[in-house]
Amino acid sequence: MPDRSAPLPDLDAIRLLALVADTGSIGGAARRDGISQPSASKRIAVLERRLGLRLLRRRTTGSELTDHGRLVTEWAREVLRATDALLAGAAALRTAGSETVRVAASQTVAEYLMPLWLAELRTVESGARVRLEVMNSTGVVAAVVAGDCDLGYIESPGVPKGLTTSTVRDDELLLVAAPGHPFTRRRTPVTAADLLGTALVVREQGSGTREVLERAVGTLELADVLELDSNAAVKIAVAAGAGATVISRLAVAAELTRGSLVQIRTDGLDLRRQLRMVSRRGARPSPAAAALAQLSHRR
């Protein structure tokens, strides 16, 4: 992979571009950003040079986006959204105070859904503080029961008793492998029996992903298994040809469209599951907790 190809643009410049689009002038964006007008002008100029595009049409009455600028700005907002999600997630990991919503989430939820919710929460309840802990589904339930957490998010099929649960989202595990894996050349769907005879990469015991897989293949014993404790590690191992795996669609969406992993059709395997929120029955949630709970159920 060539890495040093081109200097990455500056996030500050990207944000500034979005501010220019909002305010209609470079100077206005500079004021909002708390920097001087010449600095803003220069930042934008550097960004234009780096991208090789004219983004703004400078008029003496202000600046407006060119056609190219309009597109780049839209794409820039996507980068800023992802950055917001990262920062919101980091803030939730760092927070330890007591006036905070305490959340426990299983890996898939924490990785792929939680940061979005947190970023959105920040725009709705900007004062809300969230402490996020990541553990497997079993641990999440225990934490909620013990009162260590206000909200929990799990991905395992088991029904915890004594807790209020609600489905946040339907999820599905997919059988995937590296391009060129024998499974990719099959004409018939893969069955549970087929899985037993192949090298598999799986998540650790206690993870929701593992539970769904074991439920789907029944009591049969899996052989030749490489066990790893994170979705990222699993994906890397599978892409490197260590075997096939069964993993959440959320976790491999990017890899599938990019083609670095391919989905294998299956037959007779029920790999659907639900991502659910759990909380103590009868507990009165704080406003921030209620907001997060509501957010996480939207679409």
Residue ranges binding a copy of itself (CB under 8 A): 1-6, 8-12, 14-15, 18-19, 21-22, 32-34, 51-53, 67-68, 70-76, 78-79, 81-83, 85-87, 89-90, 93-94, 110-112, 115-116, 120, 123-124, 126, 134, 230-232, 236, 254, 256-260, 295, 298-299
Among a copy of itself, DNA, none, residue 243 binds (CB under 5-8 Å by kind)? none
- Segment near DNA (CB under 7 A), from 29-37, 113-121, 137-145, 221-229? 29-37
Q: What DSSP line would sit under 70-103, residue for residue?
A: HHHHHHHHHHHHHHHHHHHHHHHHH---SSSEEE
- Of the residues 18, 32, 35, 80, which one makes contact with DNA according to CB under 7 A: 35
46 binds DNA (CB under 7 A): yes
Question: What's the first-to-final CA gap in the chain, in angstroms?
Answer: 37
Nearer to a copy of itself, 134 or 145 (CB): 134
Nearest residue to 296 (alpha-carbon basis) of 272, 280, 275, 271 = 275
Nearer to a copy of itself, 11 or 220 (CB): 11
Among DNA, a copy of itself, none, residue 109 binds (CB under 5-8 Å by kind)? none
- Which H/E stretch holds residue 137? helix 137-145
Please, what is the minimum distance in Å from the beta carbon of residue 93 to a copy of itself?
5
Strand 56-59 and strand 62-65: pairing?
A: antiparallel
Among DNA, a copy of itself, none, residue 225 binds (CB under 5-8 Å by kind)? none
- Segment near DNA (CB under 7 A), from 31-39, 91-99, 175-183, 185-193? 31-39
Tell me how many residues contact DNA (CB under 7 A).
25
54 binds DNA (CB under 7 A): no
CA distances from 208 to 105, 130, 281 (A): 11, 23, 22
Distance (Å, rounded) from C-alpha 185 to C-alpha 192? 17
Sign of the torsion formed by the C-alpha atoms of 190, 191, 195 and 196: negative
- Segment near DNA (CB under 7 A), from 58-66, 113-121, 174-182, 239-247? 58-66
Among a copy of itself, DNA, none, residue 15 binds (CB under 5-8 Å by kind)? a copy of itself
Sign of the torsion formed by the C-alpha atoms of 7, 9, 12 and 16: positive
Site for DNA in 60-89 (CB under 7 A): 60-63
Please, what is the minimum distance in Å from the beta carbon of residue 74 to DNA?
20
Tell me which residue has tokens 């593992």.
Answer: 210
Contact predicate 226/237, CB 8 Å = yes
By CB atoms closer than 10 A (0-12, 13-18, 19+), residue 152 is buried
Please, what is the minimum distance in Å from the beta carbon of residue 111 to DNA?
23
Tell me which residue has tokens 């839209």.
Answer: 74
Per CB under 7 A, residues contacting DNA are 10, 12, 25-28, 34-39, 41-46, 56, 58-63
